[in-house]
Amino acid sequence: MRPRLALSSPLVLLLLIIALGLLPACQGRGDSTKAGHRSVTAVAPPPSGPPSAVPTLPASPALPPSKPSGGIDLVAGTLPAALTPSQQSRRTPVVDAVQRAAPSVVSILTEQKPQYNPFGFFGLEEADDSGRTSLGSGVIVDPRGLVVTNEHVVAGAARIRVLLADGRELPASLVGADQSFDLAVLRIEPTGKDGKEVKDLPSLRIGTASDLMIGETVIAIGNPFGLSHTVTSGVISALHRMVRAKNRTYEDFIQIDAQINPGNSGGPLLNVNGELIGINTAVHSGGPGIGFAIPIDRARTIVNDLLQFGRVRYGFLGLRVAPIHERRRQATGVLVTEVDVGSPAEKAGLVPGDVITHLGDEATVTVERFWDRVHRVLAGEEIRVRLTRGEVSVRSTALDPREMSQRARKRLGLEVVDAQGRAALVQRVSQGAIADRIGFQPGDAILQIGAKQVRSATDFYSAIGEIRPGTDTVMLVFRGQASYYVTVPF
């Protein structure tokens, strides 16, 4: 008869303890040697050049270094445990792209709601109990803390903060913004509210929109309705789409069917490689499934202008147009009335009397449509001008504000002097110039140009230097005992 061991036997307990202790350790070693458990974290390469150099968005940055992990927690931005075999089998390019990009996507918080959304499509969220308003999304494009978002997200903001994927809330300042293209650049402050230095932030790799294909998969990440880091995917529905909103026209949009909702404004549009190819901007008011993004190639030019010059360098063509006279109605387009000496238009061969029918692929059926298209031309951009006599190519140039001021000063025909720090006093009016035809007289005091107050001659010349050709500007003029608002065409 064999003896049986009781459960209380010390030998049995010892064997149980050893078995229970060794099993997890063995499993852990086995998991650590499995092949194929890899994910990539978006860690941008360190910036080149001296620290004082103005950063710009690279045209074709190098691939960010890889960092082995099992995936990224989209809410906390931390690295969870390694993927299970089941998860690994379901891992797709979309999953990889989201894991690369998620840490670089931020929420934009301000203390003031935007004054104007140019598209009028997005509803804006109500302020929460802390008095903040979550207006939209943004994307970090440089590890030193540069964030790109939409202009309407931060318009009129008195204070801006960004909320990172890892939960940190950091103050940010506005570097520059452009309402015409609805883009803004923020800079995260180098020191957080806890006094710690902020550096080496996760940044997104920048791709290109020049080779996009209709039907290819795209991914949008944003904060719709305050739901942080929401991911939607779809396909590119159309390219070079023109969108009209209120009194403006926005061209060259990427149209997508990925769901875009309130709060997605300013967030990234990605390809399946996790590269930034656009900035999500609007959704069509007709219904879901029609969203629009600004191509990253165009956004790069605008952002670099804001970083280097503090403003967008608009293109200058150097011509003015008028409606075609009734007796020439057999031609549809606008009539060239003036061509500036030495301008890109003159160098391209345009002359007064030419009839312009198209700028690029857009028909110039009215003077308003002509200027609307011209005001979307950037410095250095080449534009095809179709005439009734043929087609020419005009490469726009950038004009320094001082040169713009000199041209506007000559065209307007006003010489002004200081009026004891209260206004710009008209000293002379050139005969036959615009000011003469309107009725300006020496002694008139100019108090305001557009939204800018004028306290001196310097203010006056600075203000007219910012007026773009083809626009009408309102001036507040004081004469005698009364003031008048005068519309001045430029």
Which residue out of 69, 107, 134, 182 is catalytically annotated?
Answer: 182
* Chain center to CA of 405: 27
Residue 469: both structure tokens together? 């050709």
Report DSSP state, residue 59: S
Task: Specify whether 182 is catalytic.
Answer: yes
Which residue out of 107, 137, 265, 343 is catalytically annotated?
Answer: 265
Which residue out of 39, 104, 142, 152 is catalytically annotated?
Answer: 152
Helix (H) or strand (E) run with residue 135 in it: strand 133-142
d(CA 217, CA 235): 4
Q: How many CB atoms lie within 10 A of CB 126?
A: 9
Identify each DSSP E strand in 259-411 by its residue range.
268-270, 276-283, 291-295, 315-316, 319-323, 334-339, 355-359, 362-363, 382-387, 390-395, 397-398
d(CA 278, CA 281): 9
* Residue for token pair 């078995």: 19
Long-range contacts, 331-336 (Cβ 8 Å, 24+): 331/355, 331/357, 331/388, 332/357, 332/363, 332/365, 333/357, 333/358, 333/363, 333/364, 333/365, 333/388, 334/364, 334/366, 334/367, 334/370
Question: CA neighbours within 13 Å on the CB side: how many for 135?
Answer: 29
Q: Give the C-alpha distances (Å, rounded to integers) separating 318 from 346, 387, 394, 404.
A: 8, 16, 10, 11
Strands 382-387 and 355-359: antiparallel
Task: Specify whether 152 is catalytic.
Answer: yes
Task: Specify whether 32 is catalytic.
Answer: no
194, with CB counted inside 10 A (0-12, 13-18, 19+), is exposed
Torsion of CA 244, 256, 377, 122, to 10 degrees: 50
Which one, of 375, 373, 372, 370, lies nearest residue 354 by Cα? Answer: 370
- Tell me which residues are annotated as active site: 152, 182, 265
